[in-house]
């Protein structure tokens, strides 16, 4: 039976509309923003006061556009799966912020309606590069991997542990079916991210 998954994403948008930690965006089938939450809108007012209808690439470092395009293709090819990627965003200071994202396809009656994206800041690219890393071959990708490894293994696990605790608290409430779906998705994504962080820390010890 072909079903729609838009309802759970509408609930997720409502839940995270005023989030102070997470970015939430949706892009349509043409790659234009169809939704951004308040945190994302405020973070990129230096680019445009209204991102709705604008192409997703206006906020992304040009060298990382390929990453988004590859993830987008995977979402359309596997609509029931979630995909993760680290992407550098153009911040208001004229520099770059490293962000971590999770992506999945939105559908209605089996038809693709665009990509749902949830992300958060990992580190300021320039500060991490100058303070912790020196890459002689000029490979920006290696710098990003190194920065993310440091931040995740030393900083990111603490707030993530708090999130997992809060999710467990929420699961003890009598949630309506839509809210329960969202909480379960948040728990699954958080546990997956926790495992990624642990693996990253082991590799960089």
Distances (CA, A) of 140 to 100, 125, 134, 144, 155: 16, 10, 11, 6, 22
Distance between CA atoms of residues 154 and 152, nearest Å: 6
pLDDT band at 200 (very low <50, low <70, confident <90, very high): low
Distance between CA atoms of residues 164 and 183, nearest Å: 10
Distance between CA atoms of residues 40 and 46, nearest Å: 11
Q: Residue 2: is its pLDDT beyond 50?
A: no
Per residue in 127-179, pLDDT tens? 555 554 444 445 555 555 666 665 655 566 667 777 777 787 777 777 777 77
pTM of the model: 0.62
Locate 61 and state its tokens.
Answer: 């470092």
Catalogue all structural domains in the chain, each as residue range(s) with its CATH number. Answer: 6-199 (3.30.450.20)
Distances (CA, A) of 19 to 1, 12, 180, 203: 34, 11, 18, 32
């Amino acid at each position: 039976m072909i079903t729609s998954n838009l309802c759970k994403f509408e609930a997720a948008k409502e839940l995270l509309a005023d989030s102070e930690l997470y970015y939430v965006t949706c892009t349509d089938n043409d790659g234009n923003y169809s939704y951004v939450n308040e945190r994302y809108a405020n973070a990129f007012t230096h680019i445009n006061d209204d991102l709705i209808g604008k192409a997703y690439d206006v906020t992304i470092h040009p060298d990382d556009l390929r990453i988004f395009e590859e993830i987008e293709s995977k979402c359309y090819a596997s609509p029931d799966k979630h995909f993760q990627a680290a992407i550098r965003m153009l911040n208001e200071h004229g520099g770059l912020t490293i962000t971590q994202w999770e992506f999945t396809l939105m559908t209605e009656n089996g038809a693709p309606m665009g990509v749902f994206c949830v992300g958060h800041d990992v580190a300021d690219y320039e500060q991490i590069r100058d303070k912790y890393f020196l890459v002689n071959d000029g490979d920006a990708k290696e710098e990003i991997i190194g920065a993310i490894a440091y931040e995740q293994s030393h900083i990111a696990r603490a707030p993530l542990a708090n999130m997992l605790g809060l999710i467990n608290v929420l699961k003890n409430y009598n949630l309506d079916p839509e809210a329960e779906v969202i909480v379960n998705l948040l728990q699954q994504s958080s546990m997956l991210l926790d495992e990624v962080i642990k693996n990253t820390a082991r590799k960089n010890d």
